[in-house]
Structure 1
Amino acid sequence: MTLISTSDDRPKKATLYYAVDPMCSWCWGFKPTWQVVYNAYASQTTLAVRYVMGGLAPDSDQPMPAEMQQHLQHIWRQIQRTIPGTEFNFDFWSNNIPRRSTYPACRAVLAARSQSVQLEQAMLLAIQEAYYLQAKNPSDYSTLTELAKQIGCDTDQFTQELTSRTIDQQLKSEIHFARELGAMGFPSLILETATGSRHPMNVAYGNPQHILEQIELLNVG
């Protein structure tokens, strides 16, 4: 199983950490920008790119209060105004019983990661598209299992790991590590240089070039 790097087990090369929650709406708005940044370094050996699951909301089987639902719909509209071109399917709010619970989606990304880093990224995107475009509920394990099958995971392994103690402990470790990195909100980007110094990045929505310039400026030598 692939584990995140910690301060006691630092990579020898620089690492860009992306602290994210699959059900974070601002992370969805950041997706096009992040994809450009990721693609710029995906095939390079000078910089490693690592996802860190942030865990916005713990497990819950309680329906989301109406006020919270209205608040999140307001945020979706705010994102559409702030980041033109960002799509949301508001049918989600009438087609589902929303719950404030993002840990299952985070565990799904970790379970996919245990099979390959390619499936890790595919699962993150699949959850985002299911939630924001297809009005499906990633708080439901049935949705996550369906997505695992769609992206080509070994579904038996995925189903076992999704609710395993190992993945649950890994999520707790990643949430702690995100805080250790200084990720106070999501999305967050933190560059750790080869010498171990950490630098929070300015998350520039819609401006990947600005992020790439920050990386090049900090990742000297």
Structure 2
Amino acid sequence: MPPEPAANCPELLYLHDPLCGWCYGLSPAISQMQADFAGRLDVSVLCGGMVVGSDAGPIANSWDYIRQALAEVETVTGVQFGDAFRTLGETGTYRYDSEPPSRAIVAFRHITQDPAQTVAFAHAVQQALFRDGHDLNEAATYEPLLARFGVNAGEFARRWAAPETAQAARQEFAAVARIGVQGFPTTVVRIGEQGYVLARGYQPYEQLRAGLEQLLRETI
């Protein structure tokens, strides 16, 4: 789990998965909320393990569904999926597995101890796949992403490959499951000891913002 937010500061938990196209569509809104609610709200990202274990495998296994969803995600959210990602899908051999990119996000969080930067890194990871068609199963994919945040690539690679990081990722998947998440993305606001579901699934920024403002008015 990410570090606790500052005392008396509400926290938005962005429950996502690196392979979730609707999460890719929501990430710009999450970034906007970070900017607009700076000083009033901490934002953290958690990985849910959407495609792991026996569900992981060649992207060909789910490409028909993914391909049909791309146009809807683009139309509703305004994000774009790159031709390189579509080529990965059409080729069919790319291993679709949430654990390697989730380990990357966990490793980044452990190194930086910075939840806000981790949210930005998680978005960069999704762009690497969905926009640029890069292989999230390879440590080298993350090197240019890390450079933006000043993170040492060697330290990251060691942590990414470490068994304890894989264990931490699995524990994070279990923690998200205990929250009761049934789909991604889900946004939860934690105020003190209480958690409030802000949205299940994608919502436009203005709708999220209005819901958050109302929640903060009613609970603080």
- Kindly, what percent of the aligned residue pairs are identical? 19
* Distance change in 2, residues 1:95/1:51 (3 Å): same
Extract unaligned runs of 5+ from structure 1. Answer: none
Could you say which residue in structure 2 is the equivalent of 1:133? 131
Q: Which of 93, 96, 103 in structure 1 is aligned with 2:99?
A: 103
RMSD of Structure 2 on Structure 1 (CA): 2.7
Could you say which residue in structure 2 is the equivalent of 1:189? 187
- The size of the alignment, in residue pairs, is 212
Paired residues of 1:16 and 1:47 also in contact (CA < 8 A):
yes
Q: Which of 69, 73, 81 in structure 2 is aligned with 1:79?
A: 73
Extract unaligned runs of 5+ from structure 2. Answer: none
Could you say which residue in structure 1 is the equivalent of 2:208? 211
Report matched runs for 1:64-75 at 5 Å: 64=58, 66-75=60-69
Inter-partner Cα distance in structure 1 for 2:61 and 2:99? 21
Report matched runs for 1:142-161 at 5 Å: 142-149=140-147, 151-161=149-159
Paired residues of 1:105 and 1:144 also in contact (CA < 8 A):
no
TM-score (norm 2): 0.82
Could you say which residue in structure 2 is the equivalent of 1:201? 198
What is the CA distance between 1:125 and its match in structure 2? 2.2
- Of stretches 153-162 and 30-39 in structure 1, the one that deviates more from structure 2 is 30-39
What is the CA distance between 1:97 and its match in structure 2? 2.6
What is the CA distance between 1:217 and its match in structure 2? 2.1
Paired residues of 1:182 and 1:200 also in contact (CA < 8 A):
no
What is the CA distance between 1:12 and its match in structure 2? 4.8
Paired residues of 1:32 and 1:206 also in contact (CA < 8 A):
no
Inter-partner Cα distance in structure 1 for 2:58 and 2:91? 14
Could you say which residue in structure 2 is the equivalent of 1:15? 11
Question: Residues 94-130 of structure 1, C-alpha deviation per residue, up to 9 Å, x if partnerless?
Answer: 4673212011001101111122225423421221111
What is the CA distance between 1:153 and its match in structure 2? 1.6
Paired residues of 1:96 and 1:137 also in contact (CA < 8 A):
no
